Structure 1
Amino acid sequence: MRILLVATAFNSLTQRVFAELQDRAHSVAVHLGTAEEGLRAAVRTSGAELVVAPMLTTALPESVWSRTACLIVHPGPPGDRGPSALDWAVHEGEARWGVTVLQAGAVMDGGDIWADAECVLPEEAKSDLYRGEVTEAAVGAVLLAVERFATGRWRPRPQHGPDRPAAIRTRPHFSQDLRRIDWGSDPTDLVLHRLRTADSRPGVLDTLLGAEWYLHGGRREGRLRGRPGELIATRAGAVCRATADGAVWIPELRRRRSPGGPATFKLPAVSALGGLLPELPEVAAPLMPQEGEDTWTDIRYTEDGAVGRLHLDLPGGAMSTDHCRRLLAAYRFACGRPTSVLVLGGGRGFFSNGIHLNVIEAAADPAAESWANINAIDDLVLEVLTTTDRLVVAALGGNAAAGGVMLALAADEVWCREGVVLNPHYRLMGLYGSEYWTYSLPRRAGTAEAARLTGRALPLTAGAAHRIGLVDRVIEAAPGDFTAQTERFARLLAASPALQERIAAKKAAREADERARPLAAYRAEELSVMHRQFFSPDEPYHALRSAFVRKLAPPPEG
């Protein structure tokens, strides 16, 4: 069937729906935005039999939904209406929630229901829930709705009637007044709860050091204390702020946009504050925390017998120069431990999306920072590629893109949760790419497939990636269960009688590959292109990067 996806942005849910529908042999086109003229033209050009809208911030025009069937994905159960459904659910501590696929009509969220699905809502940040449990429910509901529509025999059911909720609940936009933190009296649990409802978007509006900021993310600190509201320490780019009974780490900040001023964007908190930040101690956390140690860090190492694991906590999946260098040091530490299997990642959040475009955009010299960042991530990937005394597993419980995918492909095995979306390409940012992709991608998928993936620049489901050789194991697990599943599989791998034989064969293969063409040659070739793209002001990378970090429409090609 010919389907047009309409969305405000090609976000994680839209990408997943796109890839899942393509896997089922539908012809899928994408249109971003709901401006009437452009959307009507997209419907005509695509010949769409059905419009599916996974993520919208504005309503579809009547001239479209009155002529073509349009299915809207609402992140709430049947009967729930309003623009901030998930915000309200997290705010009110809902243990179970749902997603409804309904037909667009004159009443916002009031159309007939084509499908719905339930999901649990564990105590996680809103963005993690959206990419995890909510996306799983949404994809299941969309696929069922599309199947029902395709038969031509199924009829959607109205939202009212004997088998529908007794009352429709329409809730307003979730305002900043509801997110406000009183640092003088709010306990840590309440502060973290407020931060969880807004970790990615829109953030919690607050006053800090005489300026207005949106706070993004929040992690518990179990030891440090200070006067409520004051900043008391820094760590890995985050700031620690005291609460009424403890403290929290805030990884990222975004300056409030001034009236008529340019769009602002998230940055590591220390970088965002810059010269406003008073002199604070940088309180490092141990790479190997003690049992029960209640403090946050973005990189930590744990060990279970012959299995080591590097845990990553990457806001938005971005890896700055500093983060890459610290991760490289942690990786080298892990390789000095007496283990035979090393797992990289394995949490429910993003695995990695490559270089940190926001930090680059904010740099005094973005070209120089781009160059430093790509070399830092290349150094990390090289270390993974040349690890020959153990097996390395990249465990992807969350999405990965660009250099993050190539980091995963440097490992001996790639394990993905079933719901993960991969974007193994760089073209949408106007880049050729590095991270030794010209070595890793063809050796797994073949030269022709590597060219197709990087040229088409489209997302892949974990299942599709498995079929073409990018992924070795697809794990069916709920987002919160993936870590335990990877730990179980890693223990089985470490106990395998064939493990040492595999390690020896890996070492021999790496030596043979190095004789055929050194890794340094791949890197030099990739970086020769990247250097031009970074340092030439006429390259599209600069405008594309600026638009991306500010969440603006990308400039037209050409």
Structure 2
Amino acid sequence: MAGGRAIAEDLLMRILLLAHSFNSLTQRLWVELEAAGHAVSLELDVNDAVTLEAVELAQPDIIIAPFLKRAIPEAVWKNHTCLVVHPGPVGDRGPAALDWAVMNGAESWGVTVLQAEAEMDAGPVWASRTFPLRPATKSSLYRNEVTEAAVEAVLEALGKPTPHRPGQTLWRPAMTQADRAIDWQSDDTTTVLRKLRAADGSPGVLDGEYYLFDGHPADGLSGPPGTWIGQQDGRLARATNDGAVWIGRMRRAEKASLKLPAAQVLPGAADLPVIPGHHDIWYDERHGVGYLHFPFHNGAMSTDQCQRLHQAFVTATSRPTKVICLMGGLDFWSNGIHLSTIEAALSPADESWRNINAMNDLCQAIITCGSHLTIAALHGNAGAGGVFMALAADMVLARAGIILNPHYKGMGNLYGSEYWTYLLPKRCGRLKAEQVVQARLPMGTVQAMELGLIDGIFPGTPQEFRARVVAQAESLATAIDMDAKLAAKRLARIADEAEKPLADYRAEELERMKLNFYGFDPSYHVARWNFIRRVPKSRTPLYLARHRQK
């Protein structure tokens, strides 16, 4: 192979991941490549000099670039095999592939693994995959279909590839805000949603003084095109020329502004009428099972959302059912406390304290529920306190391929709460529990199951996963020994409480959290500020840059 050695099937290799950030796709590839036995290290793309140094230190057999915003230095791709993961089908080129696919309403799309050369996205194709393009946001498609296709294509490329030059290619330029602009007088709801979905996550749609994000159809609503017509739980409804859309998140069009629930950003939003519409929490029930859904944006849970979900859970326990399934959302189960609403508060320390206590109240309700068996059904990724909230349930079921980050330390050495000091050792023992929270590394479902963090893995799409969860829950609800299971659960909780009360675990955790929020060390506040504003890291952490540990 030009630029590097040939790749032999089943050969274990030193692989250097080169990425702009340790995003969801990069984390998934890290987990999959490690599981396959490869020696994996990562370097964040800070500048050319750092990249050249990393390659010299790592001496990789191959370099994989799953997510870059700059070209790989010529001195690297000329002397090493560099495979770029492009989120577009064979022949597609350019930095905004998925944006254009969503904007143009493509029916199918793909992922291409190609070799880096001087001309961007024009090198030999080593592997590719295609998939139907569902009507969803760019970020949701990236976390699901693109990620699954990319993993398959990368693993194929590391086998026995037969690289070939693409035939006809199409260069798509970067998408500008002029391309994304919404004409509220002329654009119908379908067009508006495509524009919002194509910009979701980043950069958003610039609309006057604001960027708009998180668009959903507002069925049954209408008004003069472009006017704000209602609100509900932080979202705002805005009329199109044939209906309306819900806008979930906004930020002001100024430097360092925060993406927040839309009603917190738009002046006068509080005066809009409260109307029914798109919910961020809902409940349905069948065959003795209650299903509680909470697809919170990016998996973040504000104080208000924690309190509303807590109340919804308590209400669900009053129903004549036997099992409650906590369903989370398609893209995320939960990522714990809401760093954006905390950052926007007059006192981030005080809001952090309110938020973690609201999370703890919810977790306590799940742990102490004696009337039902509870299932945490993880359709999507989970991180930090969201992982431990899942462990509060009696059974944790996960979709194959999701990523867990069961640790807090990456957020400025945050200690964490959500009763993790009670829940994690119960599942994997004290020694392994300490190793898990100190590791700071993403975890796949196979490793999580080996550790005892989850109880079952179901493969397939989110829809197929839900069907398997429903079948499992209904089987539990109708089991002849259900009453015995519930009695055993209550006795076990009594025994645990006698050994050490839940209140003691909470008090000990919060004593450490109080130091994070109010103490002299500002690490948590600095890390949160940088995270919310997407400040690029100036160096790669050593636990990822293993080539630098030497």
TM-score range, shorter chain: over 0.9
Gaps of 5+ in 1: 149-153, 160-164, 286-294
Give the Cα–Cα distance (whole angstroms) in 2 for the partners of residues 371 and 488 of structure 1.
39
Contact 1:7 1:32 in 2 (8 A): yes
SS of structure 2 residue aligned to 1:400: strand
Give the Cα–Cα distance (whole angstroms) in 2 for the partners of residues 456 and 467 of structure 1.
16
Offset at 1:228? 1.6
What is the match of residue 343 of structure 2?
Answer: 361
Identify which of 146, 164, 180 aligns with 1:157.
Answer: 164
Give the Cα–Cα distance (whole angstroms) in 2 for the partners of residues 124 and 264 of structure 1.
26
For 1:215, give the aligned amino acid. Answer: L
Give the Cα–Cα distance (whole angstroms) in 2 for the partners of residues 98 and 361 of structure 1.
37
Offset at 1:16? 0.5
Identify which of 483, 488, 512 aligns with 1:500.
Answer: 483
| Of 95-104 and 488-497, the range deviating more from structure 2 | 488-497
Distance 1:505 1:278, change over 3 A: closer
CA displacement 1:396-437 (0-9 Å, x = unmatched)? 111110001011110011111112100000000020100000
What is the match of residue 63 of structure 2?
Answer: 51
What is the match of residue 266 of structure 1?
Answer: 259
Identify which of 218, 235, 239 aligns with 1:242.
Answer: 239
Give the Cα–Cα distance (whole angstroms) in 2 for the partners of residues 330 and 537 of structure 1.
38
Give the Cα–Cα distance (whole angstroms) in 2 for the partners of residues 201 and 498 of structure 1.
50
What is the match of residue 123 of structure 1?
Answer: 135
Give the Cα–Cα distance (whole angstroms) in 1 for the partners of residues 520 and 271 of structure 2.
36
What is the match of residue 196 of structure 1?
Answer: 197
For 1:254, give the aligned amino acid. Answer: R
CA displacement 1:438-474 (0-9 Å, x = unmatched)? 1111111211211111111100111221121111111
Give the Cα–Cα distance (whole angstroms) in 1 for the partners of residues 163 and 25 of structure 2.
23
Over aligned residue pairs, what C-alpha RMSD do you find?
1.7
Contact 1:253 1:266 in 2 (8 A): yes
CA displacement 1:41-94 (0-9 Å, x = unmatched)? 112222322111111111111111112211100011111111111111112222
Give the Cα–Cα distance (whole angstroms) in 2 for the partners of residues 455 and 89 of structure 1.
40
Offset at 1:555? 7.0
Offset at 1:231? 1.1
Offset at 1:34? 4.7
Give the Cα–Cα distance (whole angstroms) in 2 for the partners of residues 402 and 346 of structure 1.
15
Count of residues in Structure 1 that have an aligned counterpart in Structure 2: 528
For 2:141, give the aligned amino acid. Answer: L
Residues 92-491 of structure 1 correspond to what in structure 2 (within 5 A)?
92-148=104-160, 154-159=161-166, 165=167, 167-207=168-208, 212-257=209-254, 262-273=255-266, 275-277=267-269, 279-283=271-275, 285=276, 295-345=277-327, 347-430=329-412, 431-491=414-474
For 2:171, give the aligned amino acid. Answer: T
Contact 1:548 1:554 in 2 (8 A): no
Contact 1:385 1:411 in 2 (8 A): yes
Contact 1:133 1:478 in 2 (8 A): no
What is the match of residue 87 of structure 2?
Answer: 75
Give the Cα–Cα distance (whole angstroms) in 1 for the partners of residues 500 and 537 of structure 2.
38
CA displacement 1:256-284 (0-9 Å, x = unmatched)? 13xxxx423311111123x453611233x
Contact 1:417 1:477 in 2 (8 A): yes
Give the Cα–Cα distance (whole angstroms) in 2 for the partners of residues 79 and 33 of structure 1.
25
For 1:331, give the aligned amino acid. Answer: F
Contact 2:368 2:493 in 1 (8 A): yes
Contact 1:425 1:457 in 2 (8 A): yes
Give the Cα–Cα distance (whole angstroms) in 1 for the partners of residues 281 and 472 of structure 2.
22
For 2:393, give the aligned amino acid. Answer: A
Detail structure 1 runs of 4+ shifted over 3 Å in the superposition: 275-278, 554-558
For 1:74, give the aligned amino acid. Answer: H
Q: TM-score, normalised to structure 2's length?
A: 0.93
| Of 112-121 and 486-495, the range deviating more from structure 2 | 486-495
| Greater relative contact order (CA < 8 Å, ≥ 6 in sequence) | 2
Contact 1:237 1:270 in 2 (8 A): yes
Give the Cα–Cα distance (whole angstroms) in 1 for the partners of residues 538 and 174 of structure 2.
31
What is the match of residue 16 of structure 2?
Answer: 4
Give the Cα–Cα distance (whole angstroms) in 1 for the partners of residues 261 and 41 of structure 2.
36
Offset at 1:147? 2.9
Give the Cα–Cα distance (whole angstroms) in 2 for the partners of residues 555 and 523 of structure 1.
35
SS of structure 2 residue aligned to 1:218: strand
CA displacement 1:527-558 (0-9 Å, x = unmatched)? 00000110125331011000000000347799
| Of 548-557 and 59-68, the range deviating more from structure 2 | 548-557
